[in-house]
Amino acid sequence: MTTKVDQSSGLAAAAEARIDDLQRRYPTKAATLLHVLWEIQWQDGWISEDRMRYAAKRCGVPISKVLGVVSFYTMYRTKPVGRHHVQVCRNICCHIMGAAPLIEHIKAKIGVGEHEVSADGKWSFEEVECMAGCAWAPMMAINEAYHENLTPEKADRILGELV
Amino acid sequence: MTKVLTGNWGKKDSHLLATYEAGGGYSALKKVMGGLSPAQVIDEVKASGVRGRGGAGFPAGMKWSFVPQNTGKPIYLCINADESEPGTCKDRQILEFDPHMLIEGAIICAYAIRAKIAFFYIRGEFDLPYRRMVKAVEEAFAAGYLGKNILGSGFDLDFLIHKGAGAYICGEETGLISSVEGGRGEPKVKPPFPAVKGAFGCPTIINNVETLATVPWIINNGGAAYKQFGTEKSPGTKLISVSGRVKRPGNYEVPLGYPLQKLLLEDCGGMQDGYELKAIIPGGSSVPVMPAEKALTVNLDYESVAAAGSLLGSGGMIIIDHTQKMPELLEILAHFYSHESCGQCTPCREGTGWAHRVLKKICHGEGTKADLDLLLSIAGQMSGATICFLADSLVMPIRSFLTHFRAEFEALIKAEVPA
Ligand SMILES: Cc1cc2nc3c(=O)[nH]c(=O)nc-3n(C[C@H](O)[C@H](O)[C@H](O)COP(=O)(O)O)c2cc1C
Ligand code: SF4
Ligand code: FES
């Protein structure tokens, strides 16, 4: 779980410096909103309402715009996920290579279903659309890292190594 | 044969500046900055005939020449690394193995159109490609290839990495622009075309990663040399991503016009043991599916694939084997396009979702005969009626799956109960 932090007075200094730099270089401040949201999510793991208010102020846009953007993109999270966020591709090439049984296998192994977080906060799970790993299907991503050419055994090994 | 795009892929540390320079990297940029005018660069790229590799196949040099130079507004370049079309996984390997080739091509394009900033739009899920690009951009700034007064030419170019956050539609050029502007990735009505009025209301060129990565080779060797590969109307080489149950899936650089059968049987080693070829989607999930017999007769160039009833598109070749159920595959695609519809246009927002619900019903054995006609009717109402091409990206699969594999759908229809 994330620790309680003051969410109104900005991000870590390095993140603020990166945002300052980008706001000098982009044609408008508003255009850096996706960057600001990424910085928030990298730091906190998710984006709270307080943080959205902060992003609105930082980019000089209304809060409604921030809400619109956060809800449009699938990767921005409005609640925390597990320490290991498991995303398995369900799309056509992965399906052809056995994604459907693999998805059932992985869900059973980690004991969480779609958009669920395990009680101990270790796992969360999500089916995702094509991640451009088609030639190395089936595939999953755990947090950022891609794991490709999966078999149930290989998935077990990868998941089993995580603490 | 000569590798235009993949020549460095096997090298150790191919992604690093030192490796790229040791292999002659940035010599094209030096040549340009050493005395080619923007018009000369555009002429060379026009002479090469290279067509956009993002899917639409529009000639790159011609697109660049549409940028008005008299508006007084800044000009922007957007590099499209959103790569989200199912079946397509080529751009990411350019970024992983040869990011500097892309950066060099982008700088030359920016110079030709006199852009002030290059926005590199990369899909949010990409991790290794993202880190490699961040590193490569740092190296390029430090070496004086980016930034102020590039190689003493007086030309300035800033390069900004814009990380997406999960939305297929941001690969559509005007959706990409909306996202670069910091908003929801909603496509915009054309005209005006981005070359005239794009990002921030200014002239903007959008090009795919693979398109720009060919530019250094063209400048180094000349447009005429590039034309020696490929066909008259589809010059050059193309990356084809092959997925499915073949022995060696992966990315292949082939001259356009390469026989599909040769790629499949020789390069990819044919089908895996126990699997037979049933059908092929040759150019990414949105193009029409082709039954095996037909697919095996085509050559991989824009004209030949189109003449055979499909499209070369992004070059994402999806191999479908005999164990696959076509209604199930179409249901997956309908789910995808419905999930990715941005929702602005009613025919797309409602039509993709409706088609998906009908297909789900059919796959669950609860469809009726009328549902097949309903699907075609939904497709008919979606086609050509929307702001962008996403709706048609489902229309083409619906029509082609039903044309070639209707019997499989009919077999799932429950027997009509007589009145
Ligand atoms: C729904 C949709 C999604 C698209 N996705 C991509 C993509 O992921 N990458 C890409 O380069 N082009 C994509 N395109 C094509 C772009 O709109 C545009 O034509 C292309 O980036 C132009 O570059 P090019 O001329 O170099 O091909 C997409 C188009 C549509 C309609
Ligand atoms: S066609 Fe679909 S994705 Fe494209 S703008 Fe309309 S609703 Fe959005
Ligand atoms: S279909 Fe799964 S990565 Fe492309």
Q: Do B182 and A28 touch (CB under 8 A)?
A: yes
Note the pLDDT tens digit of each residue in B384-411: 999 999 999 999 999 999 999 999 999 9
Summarised one tens digit per residue, pLDDT across range A4-51 is: 556 667 899 999 999 999 999 999 999 999 999 999 999 999 999 999
- What pLDDT was estimated at residue A1? 46
Contacts of A134 in chain B (CB under 8 A): 86-89, 241, 243, 316, 318
Q: What is the distance between the alpha carbons of residues A8 and B248, in angstroms, rounded to a whole number?
A: 53
Q: Are B117 and A25 a contacting pair at CB < 8 A?
A: yes
Task: Average the pLDDT over B216-220 and give the result.
Answer: 98
Amino acid at B202: C
Secondary structure (3-state) at B44: helix
Inter-chain CB proximity A141 and B89 less than 8 Å: no
Residue owning tokens 């990414």: B284
Identity at B115, one-letter amino acid code: A
Q: Are strands B158-163 and B117-122 parallel, antiparallel or unpaired?
A: parallel
Q: Whose CA is nearest to atom 4 of ligand 2?
A: B388
Instruction: Please tell me the distance between residue B207's alpha carbon and the centre of ligand 1 in angstroms.
Output: 8
> Ligand 2: does its nearest atom lie under 6 Å from the Cβ of B382?
no
Q: What is the pLDDT of residue B414?
A: 74
User: What is the three-class DSSP state of B291?
Assistant: strand
Please give the interface size between A and B, counted as residue pairs whose CB atoms are below 8 Å apart: 146
**B341 CA: nearest ligand 2 atom:** 3
Residue B100 CA to residue B135 CA, distance in Å, equals 10
Q: Distance from first CA to last CA of chain A, Å, rounded? A: 15
Q: Which of A17-26, B2-11, B235-244 bottoms out in mean pLDDT, i.e. has the lowest?
A: B2-11
Q: How far is the CA of B335 from the centre of ligand 3 (A)?
A: 14
The pLDDT, as a whole number, for residue B256 is 98
Rounded Cα distance, B35 and A121, in Å: 60
Sign, CA dihedral B81-B84-B85-B89, equals positive
Closest ligand by atom to B198 CA: 1
pTM of the shown model: 0.97
**What are the C-alpha distances in Å from B219 to residues A5, B48, B148, B377?**
54, 9, 22, 49
Angle at B215 between CA B214 and CA B217, to 5 degrees: 75
Looking at all shown ligands, the one closest to residue B188's CA atom is 2
Rounded alpha-carbon distances, angstroms, from residue B165 to A77, A79, A101, B231, B346:
10, 16, 28, 38, 24
pLDDT band per the 50, 70, 90 thresholds, residue A86? very high
Q: Indicate if ligand 3 lies below 6 Å from the C-beta of A92.
A: yes
Domains recognised in chain B with CATH numbers: 17-226 (3.40.50.11540), 237-318 (3.10.20.600), 326-410 (1.20.1440.230)
The amino acid that residue A43 corresponds to is: Q
**Residue B230: strand, helix, or coil:** strand
Q: CA A19, A23, A26, A30: dihedral to nearest 10 degrees?
A: 90
B241 alpha-carbon distance from chain centroid: 11
For B361-406, the three-class secondary structure string (H helix, E strand, C coil) is HHHCCCCCHHHHHHHHHHHHHHCCCCCCCHHHHHHHHHHHHHHHHH
Ligand 3 binding pocket includes A139 (Cβ within 6 Å):
yes
Sign of CA dihedral B18, B21, B22, B23: positive
Q: Which ligand is nearest to the CA of B173?
A: 1
Distance in Å from the first CA to the final CA of chain B: 67
Domains and CATH numbers, chain A: 13-72 (1.10.10.1590), 84-160 (3.40.30.10)
pLDDT in tens, A131-162: 999 999 999 999 999 999 999 999 999 999 99
What pLDDT, on the 0 to 100 scale, is given for residue B35? 92
Structure tokens at B224: 């005429």
pLDDT digits (tens, 9 = 90+) for B316-326: 999 999 999 99
Atom of ligand 2 nearest to the CA of B169: 3
More confident position, B365 or B414:
B365
